[in-house]
Chain A
Amino acid sequence: MLADVWLVTNKDLRIEWRSRVTFNQVVPFALIVLVLFGFALDTNRAVLRAATSGVFWLTVLFVAVVAVTRSTMIEISDGARRALLLGGIEPVAIYFGKTLAIAIQLFGVELLMVGGVIFFFDATIASWPLLLATCVVATWCVAASGTLLGALVANVAARDTVLPILLLPVLAPVLIAASRAFDDALGVLVVDGWVWLGLLAAFGIVNATLGTLAYGTLLEEA
């Protein structure tokens, strides 16, 4: 089971390593969004600092849509989804494998973005452990819902428009909770970030459970 999860993750990451789609397109996209928010939010340091957490996680959500689309496309181009089915891997292993692959890629992009907000937004890190923990847990949340919805829209003709319509509202609590936790980690707001992390964890568990239950059905029938 774990070996199969890693097999799928390894395959997706290897494909990314070869094609560099995320690295070559998503990273510049994320940085451009950050810079544009900088323009939009004025040269006012105070405004920029107050908005940093929200801007950061909103950008992550946009990046997630791109990453999920890519992860889905790998499996539909040239009958590869069929290959995954014929391979005889348990759907649950496929689900966690693909979730993990998206999460690892997003986490990498987030680390670069942390550098971006420190550089462009003048952010200071008050608590590295909280910052990293938030990135890990929130990324898992985004990847878990994203992988589920990616499989769900895989055979829909209008998948490119339907995916964000479905995914972004579902991720609203992740945006809220991760931003608050970041507010604490960046020392912008006096809140208890660790409590927010708990909420994120709950989201991650609930949505991964639903994904575990539904993924096989979606692969077979939808």
Chain B
Amino acid sequence: MKNIATSVDAATTKSRATQILGFVVLFGVLALILLGFFAAPEDDEQRDAVRMIFVHVPSAFLTYAAFSVTAAGSLMWLWKRSRWWDIVAHSAAEIGVIFCGLTLFTGSVWGRPTWNTYWDWGDVRLVTTLILFLMMVGYLALRAAGGEENAVATRAAVVGLLAAVNIPIINRSVEWWANRTLHQRSSLTDGNLEDLTLFTLVVGIVVWVLFFVWAMIHRFRIGWLEHQLRDIELQAAIAGRRAETANDPTGGSLP
């Protein structure tokens, strides 16, 4: 127990590898700014607004990636009861909510000059992503409500899976409902992008993925340290209770 205590005292979420990774991400963001603002050409129709693609598309991609990790972690918690997976699910959800918020924000900022509106209820991806955002905010609210560690993990895992299984249904319902879309087809697959734009977009995705990995490692380590801290507190509490038993004033005096 003492070992854990000292290791927590000296605890940090930093390591050589994450430091290097952090610098790579920083450098990558710098490169993305240069490429996105100066190298990539402006669009014939959308003019400069098209540059939003370099943040928006990677964010959207990472949103779904992060929430998939949450769903996987939730499933693994329910199956294996491993704290490791529980913390992975929680970490990915927190980071995913940030990406999701960024996706919605950049999307609506981009929408203003191109569609002439910040928000469009008729768009499948917008509305689906918004509902996913709300569900995951609920997931974090549930986690924040607290309780016994295992109970919190189980509740959160069920909500994580509930969000995952409902996303296809939500997507379908919005698609039928709107039956029209302002949203352009998938930017990557329709082949209309200029070479340099495509290259910048790929750089953007790579940088975002690296950032996700970097943030996940740090967030996971925080979660793990919190878990260890709770364990130390628990051991101390158990030791305290046992001391009560040992010092029992009535010890043996009752019939």
A interface vs B, CB < 8 Å?
Answer: 145, 148-149, 152-153, 155-158, 162, 165-166, 168-170, 172-173, 176-177, 180, 195-196, 199, 202-203, 206-207, 210, 214, 217-218, 221-222
A-chain residues with CB within 8 Å of residue B135 when the two chains form the complex: 166, 169-170
A-chain residues with CB within 8 Å of residue B162 when the two chains form the complex: 145, 148-149, 170, 207, 210
Contact A196 B176 (CB under 8 A): yes
Contact B166 A221 (CB under 8 A): no
Q: How far is the CA of A203 from the CA of B17 in the complex (A)?
A: 45
Contact A218 B173 (CB under 8 A): no
Contact A165 B169 (CB under 8 A): no
Whether B165 sits at the interface, judged by CB under 8 Å, is yes
- A-B pairs with lowest CB-CB distance, top 8: A173-B173, A169-B134, A165-B138, A166-B138, A176-B173, A169-B135, A222-B155, A222-B151
Given contacts A165-B138, A217-B154, 10 further A-B contacts (CB under 8 A): A152-B159, A156-B142, A156-B155, A158-B145, A170-B163, A173-B173, A176-B173, A176-B174, A203-B166, A217-B158
Interchain CB contact (< 8 A) of A221 among B134, B151, B159, B177: B151
Q: How far is the CA of A202 from the CA of B173 in the complex (A)?
A: 11
Contact A199 B158 (CB under 8 A): no
| Number of interchain pairs (Cβ within 8 Å) | 94
B interface vs A, CB < 8 Å?
Answer: 78, 131, 134-135, 137-139, 141-142, 145-147, 150-151, 154-155, 158-159, 161-163, 165-166, 169-170, 172-174, 176-177
B-chain residues with CB within 8 Å of residue A218 when the two chains form the complex: 154-155, 158
Contact A156 B165 (CB under 8 A): no
B-chain residues with CB within 8 Å of residue A169 when the two chains form the complex: 131, 134-135, 138
CB proximity of A215 to chain B, nearest CB, Å: 9
Known contacts A195-B176, A210-B165, A222-B154; is-contact A162 B147 (Cβ 8 Å): no
B-chain residues with CB within 8 Å of residue A210 when the two chains form the complex: 158, 161-162, 165
Q: How far is the CA of A217 from the CA of B161 in the complex (A)?
A: 14
Q: How far is the CA of A184 from the CA of B166 in the complex (A)?
A: 24
The winner among B151, B173, B176, B177 for most chain A CB atoms within 10 A is B173
CB proximity of B106 to chain A, nearest CB, Å: 22
Contact B176 A199 (CB under 8 A): yes
| Nearest B-chain residue to A221, judged by Cβ | B154
Interchain CB contact (< 8 A) of A199 among B145, B154, B173: B173
B-chain residues with CB within 8 Å of residue A214 when the two chains form the complex: 78, 158, 161
Q: How far is the CA of A149 from the CA of B174 in the complex (A)?
A: 23
Contact A206 B170 (CB under 8 A): no
Contact A152 B138 (CB under 8 A): no
B-chain residues with CB within 8 Å of residue A153 when the two chains form the complex: 142, 155
Contact B161 A156 (CB under 8 A): no
Contact B141 A162 (CB under 8 A): yes
Q: How far is the CA of A199 from the CA of B171 in the complex (A)?
A: 11
Q: How far is the CA of A156 from the CA of B141 in the complex (A)?
A: 11
Contact B165 A152 (CB under 8 A): no
B-chain residues with CB within 8 Å of residue A173 when the two chains form the complex: 166, 169-170, 172-174
Q: How far is the CA of A183 from the CA of B88 in the complex (A)?
A: 44
| Nearest A-chain residue to B150, judged by Cβ | A221
Known contacts A165-B137, A169-B131; is-contact A199 B155 (Cβ 8 Å): no
Q: How far is the CA of A196 from the CA of B56 in the complex (A)?
A: 32
| Nearest B-chain residue to A157, judged by Cβ | B145
Q: How far is the CA of A169 from the CA of B78 in the complex (A)?
A: 23
CB proximity of A92 to chain B, nearest CB, Å: 15
Contact A170 B166 (CB under 8 A): yes
Q: How far is the CA of A207 from the CA of B161 in the complex (A)?
A: 10
Q: How far is the CA of A217 from the CA of B151 in the complex (A)?
A: 10
Interchain CB contact (< 8 A) of A180 among B134, B145, B170, B177: B177
Contact A148 B147 (CB under 8 A): no
CB proximity of B2 to chain A, nearest CB, Å: 32
Known contacts A152-B158, A180-B177, A206-B165; is-contact A199 B142 (Cβ 8 Å): no
The winner among A158, A176, A195 for most chain B CB atoms within 10 A is A176
Contact A152 B166 (CB under 8 A): no
Q: How far is the CA of A210 from the CA of B159 in the complex (A)?
A: 10
Q: How far is the CA of A157 from the CA of B134 in the complex (A)?
A: 21
A-B contact pairs, 14 of them (CB 8 A): A152-B142, A157-B146, A162-B138, A165-B134, A166-B138, A169-B135, A170-B163, A176-B173, A199-B173, A206-B166, A210-B161, A218-B155, A218-B158, A222-B155
